[in-house]
A and B are shown apart, each in its own frame.
Chain A
């Protein structure tokens, strides 16, 4: 479980990135952190990791001050998937995933299982720098999976940013499954459809504050989102023709590839309204509003 108690997060007491954050992410749930660029999503996640000490207030994981955790005590509780960085290491995929066991007892089976879960069995000997961005992101996710223990915390900073349309849903499905097994998942996402599909709770950060938190249907509303992002939103219904139903009868997993399936209720998803005049034409950069100089070929 993650708790933030009246926490100011950032580097400067005079101008914290996020001020007075109070929220809790419960065990066995997925909490999505959303917000505009530079709103403080990564700062929030890094504070929960303990990489940034709160300027004021407290950040607790399983009731313990995360800043005081380190070494094995931290590795046992929290697994972290960063935004992809510019890492040019020649270590193999398997060696990097194996680093997830750095402070924990060696477990080759866990490493192999993690690679398998992200579909990289056949790439395990390949140097990291030779993998595509999406594959690199999956390797970093696999490292966290190899480290993760049931009941632990998973922090993920835009884990689907470089993934294709096949792997983004699979990864979200994986997160949902881990949450069902007791993990506390805190994930920063930009794609609101992904948020609506996977999150139990949404934290919206904007203007230096946690401006809204709650279930998807309470936070993902056009008015709240428009205020945060500065663009108009509309709700659309996305049909979900084959939705796997969880065996225990609780939340459906819209991304699961296997198991029993049934017609699902679909999702109500907020989408940002684009500045498109006709639906086929986009204004060219610098063009006056309403002019359309480039035509999008319809499918």
Chain B
């Protein structure tokens, strides 16, 4: 069989297998967030008015900015793959660097957004939130949990991409062996994709 001949050449290298593994891991991530999306939809259905009111508290500008940032970063990491195929190492590193910078920019925005909310006294267990309706408590609980978990994924993704940048620099990843770069990009697209769902759910549907 072709696939097996492939795996025998030079110590178990199997790019197709590595990518399959990454895709399956992405399924698990989607289901992880899926649990939170179920909770969100159930509570939104039960408290439509409160969710509407609470969503208006969020800053659409920051949300939109972050969406654009992530979409562009997804583009740059995809371009990095093309450029490594073209054997252009420097360009690859620059594109990956831009991706990392955009991700950090996203986190900075997130930081200001969260601290803004917290300074207004809106955080789980706060006095102000306890006086609001139950729907609003749920909304903000979900807001912090879901965007927080997403931010955690951004941090993991950036670390992953940073590690691959180092591998590119040391020529461990090059034009004929770049599956780990593809996998880091796949992961990054997942992080982007989840945000594409979070953004309308929290910021746009009011």
A and B together in one complex: no
